[in-house]
Structure 1
């Protein structure tokens, strides 16, 4: 009996070692934004980001040191500018990607050409597709990336902080008097976003109403006449932030040619830093806060007696 008791500590230690060894090598599986499972035998160590918002998500999730490649305009946080480039959202350098030997590639489906995505699949490198559509999806993506990167504690903390910021905005603005909004993506041709886009979710968060929410596809083209008929109370677009695009962003001054348009008559033509409002990453909370403030300005400019 004495000998048996002496063996118990060693037996327990051996069992714990086996459990640790199993957990350390257990397969990590998450579901990406296309609904597909993504499995890794161990946390990713060499990651490539194929969208600027993905780069921001990976840094926020605690995996910045594991990034070995990124596309153009991956410029936040500042250290992201030093990551080797592997092309942009129009053309990827597939040879460069292969040479970097990634064990995980995080892809933006709508930003990367389908033909090149098909070639990436042929490389048999795990792909995680990032395509968040609602505000809450950003926090969920942070959690999933944390699992894939082995940085869950950092990722979960970032997700919780983001959720709290969005919850504060929702509590403050969502029940305020509705403001009809036209969100202008581009001016020639005139383009907007429908109700399934994340920016439309931001508009709703702020107590706004997307006047073209029911249109298809995700980024529909509209006519000037359609905007005039909708007569939005506010028109919003993205301005150039720290990232300067190759082509100028759409301007709102052209709407001053229609002084009877409600948004023009009340000077409710707003531009928000494109890096904050266009990228589905944690900084979107800052862009949302700006949009909410702009809609509050629009409310303050209503004629006396108008609800």
Structure 2
């Protein structure tokens, strides 16, 4: 089918989706039958569009390593080499095509179940990918992540596998990667819809906190020795978007070693630590508050020490927006009071 026909069908899909959403907002039982029919029609249109996209393979794209990659046909056997990539694939409803993941891939929860029952194979760790295990799965697409996997990408490519690499450095690049994965898998519509939803949520947070004072935030990445986050990290940018100011945003490295005296001197209004502290190292709010000299810190004096699931602020996938929302609630709870 010609490109203009595909684009026309895509436009119809988007219009119908918008109409469905509008209908959902109407509380009128007499519309139920019409709404169900409309939803059915929408699903048929979406399936037709996806079929057309499948027929339009091969697709050529440029990944985050700057590599020109051609995906010859719609992938049906996908291996993910990072938790963030796995989360993107499942968010695009590609879980039934995923045949291999790393040992650290644990979200959504069904990934754990699929690994345990053998439906999805484990191909090693994030930086210890078992190339032979990947090859045995005979994937038609491998999704790699960050510069730490450059050598693995080169090796797998040498075996003739199709590999795309994702390496986003901020939310906008993460959104672009969702679109990239959508193009590579024939899920472009779903990818565009997901990005639109995520961008809307981001804007909602930004609008709520934009006129509020910037509170100083200390994020403790590690406790012995103390380590925080600096510029160029997702956590730093998320803190800023959530209405905070990272007290180590002026650091010379992304993950600076800091001293207790540094933290005291910079006097954060809010202290945020990863929740794995409590589970794995028995680090509690009381332990942090009782550190020598820390009683003078505003965050300690005002009881503003919080735990957060670090996965949602470090994995460059859709849940980064969950992380942004949680950070905003922790930094500026008053912005979300009804």
- Alignment TM class, shorter chain as reference: 0.7 to 0.9
Correspondence for 2:71: 40
1:184 aligns with 2:215: no
Cα deviation per residue 1:136-191 (whole Å; 9 max; x = unaligned)? 22322111101001111222111111111111111111331101111111112222
Q: Tell me, what secondary structure is at the counterpart of 2:324?
A: helix
Shift in Å, 1:118: 4.8
Which of 280, 288, 298 is the matching residue for 2:324? 288
Q: Which moved more, 1:252-261 or 1:164-173?
A: 252-261
- The answer for unaligned runs of 5 or more in structure 1 is 1-19, 300-307
Task: Determine which structure has the larger helix proportion and give its number.
Answer: 2
Contact 1:186 1:250 in 2 (8 A): no
The CA distance in 1 between the partners of 2:223 and 2:262, in whole Å, is 14
> In 1, are the aligned partners of 2:229 and 2:236 still within 8 Å (CA)?
yes
Aligned partner (choices 287, 294, 305) of residue 269 of structure 1: 305
Distance 2:153 2:73 in 1: 24
Aligned mates of 1:197, 1:87 — CA distance in 2: 26
Structure 1 counterpart of 2:123, from 49, 70, 86: 86
Give me the TM-score of the superposition, normalised by structure 1.
0.80
RMSD: 2.9
Q: Does the Cα contact within 8 Å between 1:139 and 1:160 map onto a contact in 2?
A: no
Equivalent residues, number = 277
The alpha-carbon deviation at position 86 of structure 1 amounts to 0.8
Give me the TM-score of the superposition, normalised by structure 2. Answer: 0.73
- Give the 3 Å change call, closer, same or farther, for CA 221–298 of structure 1 in structure 2: farther
Alignment counterpart, residue 61 of structure 1, candidates 92, 98, 108: 92
Q: Among residues 99, 103, 115, which one is paired with 1:72 in the alignment?
A: 103
* 1:135 and 2:174 are equivalent in the alignment: no
Q: Secondary structure at the match of 2:105?
A: coil
Distance in 2, Cα, partners of 1:68 & 1:58: 11
